[in-house]
Chain A
């Protein structure tokens, strides 16, 4: 019976994450539009796009992997989200947090991309492999500073359990990793820019360059699954960063405010800078954020 209640809680939690992730996407589109001097689409536009994509009457497929690509991607998003405790102290939003879940979450962040690479490759469009090559290379490079930051955090709290890390940051703003281990937060926030794939790191979906990128052949429900995952995975990443570096959240409104503010960093930088070329982006991640990540480990081990 216990596991049944747990499953119901997980379903509620996933739905809340999807809705919040998609709403965030809508808000961000609105912000970008205002920066451009436009009025912008309504905040609920991502939901309408998903309804529209599901409403397609015919849908073309290119083979089994083409079916499995979006499924893997969604599975990756679901896996990432389900092992992160969203709200500290809440039973409904605790998800399946356990000892060592941080490693599992980092694995799942990579997993979805690899699945998508297999699926999109079967589409046969030349832009798909181009986007995949860019995406996976960039992913490998921004994983490096992120992993260093996570190692620094693990050394600091002597744990790989996200719940323990959040618990250690309770009791005041100065207990946050942001203040106790600032170098790790800087390195991780720079790698978050790459993860969120806003400009200047928007290499994968790069409009005007390789339009749409890997999912270029995805249509109908395939695309709708990817769009749903964008909401879920987006929310999961932000919640992970909130837990690791910004003290977690004790209730839903705090979670919303914190994730929005973390996302806003990407949006401000995205709205102000043009896009990097692929090699510039890779070199950038391997240079400064990596050095800052190494400094953070030295800082937390010896000072």
Chain B
């Protein structure tokens, strides 16, 4: 392939960042997310073990399910004994818990927070509302399926799931991470256009860059 053709394709691959005003576009990167292949077999296995033993979830309550996260940290359920802790910044956290229904406004924040997290990152969808809409299935301002907008690793059904159910969900996630099946970050990068299309259908006032914060 000629050098000019490669440059042309690279130009097409760049993100438009159309939501931003012209003068702000240069402040943000226009690179797309790339899928990162796993390292060699044994090293990746070791790292997956380490990732499973230390899960930091983002302290962002996106719905009523967030109320079930508080008892997890206190003395009755004490989730820290499994190496799980809350983290108030998306840069350092690796697990995103979608706490129940996600309204149109919240989806925008969910996408922003999810994209700011550094991979490998995992998503736990809590409650029936994230699976099929639950009791808000016909609401005008909530979405029905969260996995149309970000990739989900573990679902916890129920309305509301008890803290025990959340601990069971975390243990399920740990198993998935150890076997290397929790690969939402690469899934998001590979199906980036599809996710963006779905997100932009819902979020009407898209005044943010397409990716990269």
User: Which A residues lie at the B interface, using CB under 8 A?
Assistant: 29, 33, 36-42, 45, 48-49, 51-52, 54-60, 125, 207, 211-212, 216-220, 223
For B75, the chain A residues whose CB sits under 8 A away are: 36-38
Most buried by B among A42, A48, A52, A212: A52
Q: Is B120 an interface residue (CB 8 A)?
A: yes
* Complex CA–CA separation, A125 to B119 (angstroms): 20
With A45-B54, A51-B50: A57-B185 Cβ-Cβ less than 8 Å: yes
Across the interface, A56 reaches (CB within 8 A) one of B48, B74, B81, B119, namely B119
* Complex CA–CA separation, A57 to B186 (angstroms): 10
Cβ-defined contact, A41 with B120, below 8 A: no
For B87, the chain A residues whose CB sits under 8 A away are: 212
For B92, the chain A residues whose CB sits under 8 A away are: 212, 216, 218-219, 223
Across the interface, A55 reaches (CB within 8 A) one of B50, B85, B88, B89, namely B50
* Complex CA–CA separation, A3 to B85 (angstroms): 44
Cβ-defined contact, B81 with A211, below 8 A: no
With A48-B53, A52-B54, A57-B120: A218-B36 Cβ-Cβ less than 8 Å: no
* Complex CA–CA separation, A27 to B89 (angstroms): 25
With A40-B80, A217-B91: A55-B119 Cβ-Cβ less than 8 Å: no
Please provide the 9 A-B residue pairs with the shortest distance between their CB atoms, ordered closest to farther.
A211-B88, A51-B50, A55-B47, A37-B75, A52-B54, A38-B78, A219-B91, A48-B53, A57-B36
With CB as the reference atom, state the residue of chain B lying closest to A212.
B89
With CB as the reference atom, state the residue of chain A lying closest to B89.
A216
Extra contacts besides A33-B78, A207-B88 (7): CB < 8 Å:
A37-B75, A38-B75, A40-B78, A41-B83, A52-B54, A57-B36, A211-B88
Cβ-defined contact, B88 with A33, below 8 A: no
* Complex CA–CA separation, A51 to B50 (angstroms): 6
A35 to chain B, nearest CB (A): 10
25 contacts between A and B (CB under 8 A): A36-B74, A37-B75, A38-B75, A38-B78, A39-B78, A40-B78, A40-B80, A40-B81, A41-B83, A42-B81, A45-B54, A48-B50, A48-B53, A51-B50, A55-B47, A55-B51, A57-B119, A57-B120, A60-B118, A60-B213, A211-B88, A212-B87, A216-B89, A219-B91, A220-B118
Q: Is B65 an interface residue (CB 8 A)?
A: no
For A59, the chain B residues whose CB sits under 8 A away are: 118
* Complex CA–CA separation, A262 to B87 (angstroms): 29
For A51, the chain B residues whose CB sits under 8 A away are: 46-47, 50, 53-54
B207 to chain A, nearest CB (A): 19
B115-143 Cβ-contact flags toward A at 8 Å (1 or 0): 00011100000000000000000000000
Most buried by B among A56, A60, A212: A56
For A211, the chain B residues whose CB sits under 8 A away are: 59, 88-89
User: Which B residues lie at the A interface, using CB under 8 A?
Assistant: 36, 46-48, 50-51, 53-54, 59, 74-75, 78, 80-81, 83, 85, 87-89, 91-92, 94, 118-120, 185, 213
With A56-B118, A60-B118, A220-B118: A38-B80 Cβ-Cβ less than 8 Å: yes
Cβ-defined contact, A52 with B80, below 8 A: no
* Complex CA–CA separation, A54 to B118 (angstroms): 12
For A49, the chain B residues whose CB sits under 8 A away are: 54
For B85, the chain A residues whose CB sits under 8 A away are: 41
With CB as the reference atom, state the residue of chain B lying closest to A55.
B47
With A39-B78, A218-B91: A52-B51 Cβ-Cβ less than 8 Å: yes
* Complex CA–CA separation, A254 to B120 (angstroms): 42
* Complex CA–CA separation, A59 to B120 (angstroms): 10
For B36, the chain A residues whose CB sits under 8 A away are: 57-58
For B88, the chain A residues whose CB sits under 8 A away are: 207, 211-212
B65 to chain A, nearest CB (A): 21
For B54, the chain A residues whose CB sits under 8 A away are: 45, 48-49, 51-52
Cβ-defined contact, A41 with B80, below 8 A: yes
